[in-house]
Structure 1
């Protein structure tokens, strides 16, 4: 009876630049050394020289097998089944956000993932505003699970996956911009009706004064001198009462070009008043 070697692999898919541990063992008894073999779809099988340990680490794709050896003369176990190790290109992480605007007093959830066709075991690293030398910590975000965090600070976020020892990283994810929601405070919004009422009352008052002045001048059939006095009184009244209107929050509305407006009004009244 000849024992049979068994070959196992930590994973059969490794990224470019990564590696995997292969383990060969014979169960019947101790004292075995091991021989390793590799071939590809296009090359013949060759022994892996310098490797007699039970565990070896490989970084090349190919079809691997092993067998046990011991004694003198050498006694061989049966060959193991083949294990195919495949090299894949470096995967890229994917980042998505449930919302890109942080509500007032709230947060948004970010989710990082690696292509499902890749093997599992990824740990995720988070970065903000181009600082890729230092990943975010629990002081910067709330870590819910291996692939999710909640953030309340605005900024440009990215993530990547890593696994193994030494750590093998995926490509960085695309960038996601997170902004804070801007709202109008209650104090500012409550002033809007006050502004509207002040402006409305001022406009109506000015119209009433203009109409009354026009009526008085037409009834009195004032001469030019009297009319000039009337206009001067009107200008004084307007200047005294309407040259400045003070609002809340130190905001001032200035009625500009008052002289130009009065001159236009003067010409209008001269046209309306019948000559005496």
Structure 2
């Protein structure tokens, strides 16, 4: 007994959910289902299988993967009974992303979707990996590897059977973005020249039509989703700023012959540039704040130039002691306090706080008390005089 896996959708938008469905040949109650990710194993020219999170023995025959962003392969199988009997693993099924993956990518030369028969086409895997294979999923559902692989490049001498989806797999288990290749079977018919990879919103793109014997055609009609774009024939269609509404199927018509139609995908603005602009914004914001603080400081200094020199002196305490057990009254003393309460230019304000005179003790007649000659000052550096 085997299992059959279906995947929906086959082509995804970055971040979309993917639904896996597993069917057994003879469905009945009591089956449990197991869900796996197919990991490329180039040494065995196959794939190994890793269980997906919570993918062991589910009662439901479906499994949803959230936030899928890149091309990936999946496998399922079913089991029941005690001890449990398992079906064979299903054939791997793939969900493809056309969005370029930063770790691994696939380039096509010539850079177009459609090609004539017997064209020489090169598919090159790019990324920091030493081992690669190019995989091909044909229109008839067959999965195969590139037959002529040199290093990281697959060379194809195109035939109708080469119409397929292609992608790269690295020895480290990475998948590249996937591309469609369409081979025109009519040797006398035109092909549409359109980009292989998705076009970024806001970018410009040109679509043209070509014959095997004539690369540049002028009297061409272009169609978008089977609707004529312009009534007058032209050599190409130029879209100066691509938007999501430009996504869809395109084809061209020349001398009554139509090309095959190809899908042009449109993706949002490159998200990889967002951190760069975020960093630029943060640096600019911090710099602006520093400049404003410096300007405020300079303005404050020019308005209150002597503020930093404001000092308050105050006589804290005066005492005099003679020998032990003898009390001596302090001599006359004067306490001054200098307080600057505003931008008073160079003027000073003195306030007499206390002035007292006492008769001098007879035993100390003719001698000055230490308190009369000593003063203790406390230096206090004030802040803004406006806040005093």
TM range (shorter): 0.3 to 0.5
Say which structure is richer in helix: 1
Higher strand share: 2
With CA pairs under 8 Å and 6+ residues apart, which has the higher RCO, 1 or 2?
Answer: 1
TM-score between both structures, scaled by the size of structure 1: 0.33
